[in-house]
A and B are shown apart, each in its own frame.
Chain A
């Protein structure tokens, strides 16, 4: 080569060796592109598979089956005085609606055959309280069915196999076929799933309790970790001297971000429950624990955002006599805000999907009521998914997928918010 340069002979671009080199280069480029597209296609395929499976098995949880039946609102069986109840519907709150529902079921479907859900009497009570004049009459009502009938109606069972292998009885199948042909079954929106809390009966189980628990927790997490994280990042980036101590703090924060989440659960258990005696299973404890976990993520994202602010802007502001705090609040924070918010929201999204630390602080309790405050027992969305996925009952399979759909929708919403905020606050140069 040096000889060639020395002699000054022109490069032989047309030579075979050179042409081969060029062909090889093009082949490598094609190969690289092909690999990239294959990787994307594979990832997209998996995502599609995941979403299809979940939606296919989960969309039924948003629907519920009801059966039509005649119920007699007999005041004697209800144990109330009709005249008094008509004057004050509140007297009906403790009336024996289970009794009149059981009587109607025994009469129409046979003794001991469970078609109507145990919780369906609430519908009867609400009806009677809304209109006490129906006392003493017989009404045709649509009542929630048991999970087995619901699953039969949704076609969840393969009826071609031996009935003994099915979790439903032959009586139930026969009854379902009869009711279906009589047009006494209907499948509609499952409002209870979106408004209720957990239950032992799949047809009565709802997601709202867990969702609200997650909301309450995330509020605590945001309120604690955002200001702490952003202030720490600003102090470390803009004010702290660069020395051995700040190096140690930086390494510690990076390590904290990499600590497995279950360890934070143990920390929460030891500090908040055992030492500070805070209420078990409460959103405040879950929120604090998740805040510990989200804090380093926010610090790291915020520091990166602050570092990305050009030093020339700081010089400009200092050069006309702005104090360091004014430089930070007037110039650095507005420019770093999109990055800070994006990091925070992604940290929050991670906290929303976190399960392990919540198990450690007792948030996997079975709760049939929606939490009303930060200190009441609650569970969280991912924990609810975990609990339901453990349940053997066929009806909980679709509930699990339904809860996953709700969780994914919220994650999508949060990530969408992150993108929106980033674009909104981004300063164009």
Chain B
């Protein structure tokens, strides 16, 4: 064990992985290809509400591709072809009768670069509930907006300027606004694609705290480049390399006692 792995070891969060109840999402033997290029093969993973799941791996290893399969965002890429089976609550999300719009409301997503709509803070959060008809009245909608912003830890900072543009916030605030926007449609799963990679350390810390607070309410999957971050926020970790899932298990196990030599090499900083 070298210095690097010691650092990661000390970064490990205090919370241990707990035994899963029924998994929220299950993926079996998922493969993705873009045209002739095989981006991902043979991935099988369970995602639960009790634990935060982190996907780690070097650039281009397929972790983001896999994440985007979980809410069918890959549908927007014309050349992408997904095989295998992904279930949400035991129902195949690639089944012909699955409504993609409803699926994406149940499986929310936060992107790498904060992408608030160029509208007011209020409108950013209210947009989702409005298009899904989740609020019955203006007061109801106000309540949803406030609750979502509170859960995203942003309410105290923006409550006096809800009419200001969402794009006028700082990068970290924008990202929390995006999380609030995802929470507002009351999803069951939240997918986060390197949510802190464009943020400074303080904003990153806030996002990580937030993820920890949201655990248990939503099944959270986070893709990250930052191994310390994976160690801090997750209870389950999946290591991807060259388009396949190398190892998947409890975060503590992966970081202190990886089974696969490739995982060990990556975690100890030999490549990646």
Contact = CB atoms under 8 A, between A and B. Distances in A.
B249 to A, nearest CB: 29
Contacts of B154: none
Interface in A197-223: none
A320 B181 CA distance: 8
Interface in B85-122: 101-105, 108-111, 113, 115-118
A326 B111 contact: no
Contact of A319 (B116, B182, B184): B182
A317 B124 CA distance: 10
A326 B111 CA distance: 20
B127 A319 contact: no
Given A313-B117, A315-B115, A321 B185 contact: yes
Most chain-A CB neighbours within 10 Å: which of B104, B105, B132, B182? B104
Interface in B232-259: none
A319 B109 contact: yes
A428 B165 CA distance: 9
A241 B76 CA distance: 11
Contact of A242 (B78, B101, B109, B118): B78
Contacts of A101: none
A320 B108 contact: yes
B67 to A, nearest CB: 11
A320 B117 contact: no
Is chain B's binding surface mostly helix, strand, loop or mixed? helix
B73 interface: yes
Interface string A68-83: 0000000000000000
A321 B132 contact: yes
A323 B167 CA distance: 23
Q: How large is the interface on B (under 10, 10 to 19, 20 to 34, 35 or more residues)?
A: 20 to 34
Interface string A336-360: 0000000000000000000000000
A316 B178 contact: yes
A427 B73 contact: no
A276 B103 CA distance: 51
A322 to B, nearest CB: 6
B36 interface: no
Contacts of B113: 312
B166 to A, nearest CB: 10
B71 interface: yes
A310 B114 CA distance: 12
Q: What does DSSP make chain A's interface, helix, strand, loop or mixed?
A: helix
Size bracket, chain A contacts: 20 to 34
A241 B73 CA distance: 16
Given A321-B132, A321-B185, A322-B101, A315 B73 contact: yes
Contact of B111 (A242, A312, A331, A427): A312
Given A242-B78, A315-B111, A316-B111, A321 B104 contact: yes
A310 B115 CA distance: 9
Interface in B181-210: 181-182, 184-185
B171 interface: no
A319 B118 contact: no
A320 B178 CA distance: 10
Given A323-B101, A331-B117, A429-B118, A318 B76 contact: yes
Contacts of A319: 71, 73, 104, 108-111, 182
Contact of A321 (B78, B105, B116): B105
A429 B167 contact: yes
A422 to B, nearest CB: 16
Interface in A304-335: 310, 312-323, 326, 330-331, 335
A180 B127 CA distance: 76
Given A315-B73, A330-B127, A429-B167, A320 B185 contact: yes
A429 B116 CA distance: 10
Interface string B49-90: 000000000000000000000010100101000000000000
A288 B167 CA distance: 43
Interface-central residue, A317, A319, A428, by most chain B CB under 10 Å:
A319
B16 to A, nearest CB: 31
Contacts of B105: 320-321
Given A318-B104, A321-B102, A313 B132 contact: no
Contact of B115 (A313, A335, A427): A313
B118 to A, nearest CB: 4
B131 interface: yes
A181 to B, nearest CB: 72
12 contacts: A242-B78, A310-B115, A313-B117, A319-B110, A319-B182, A320-B128, A320-B182, A321-B104, A321-B128, A321-B131, A330-B127, A335-B118
Given A316-B115, A321-B105, 6 more contacts: A312-B113, A316-B111, A318-B76, A319-B109, A321-B104, A429-B118
Interface of B: 71, 73, 76, 78, 101-105, 108-111, 113, 115-118, 127-128, 131-132, 165, 167, 178, 181-182, 184-185
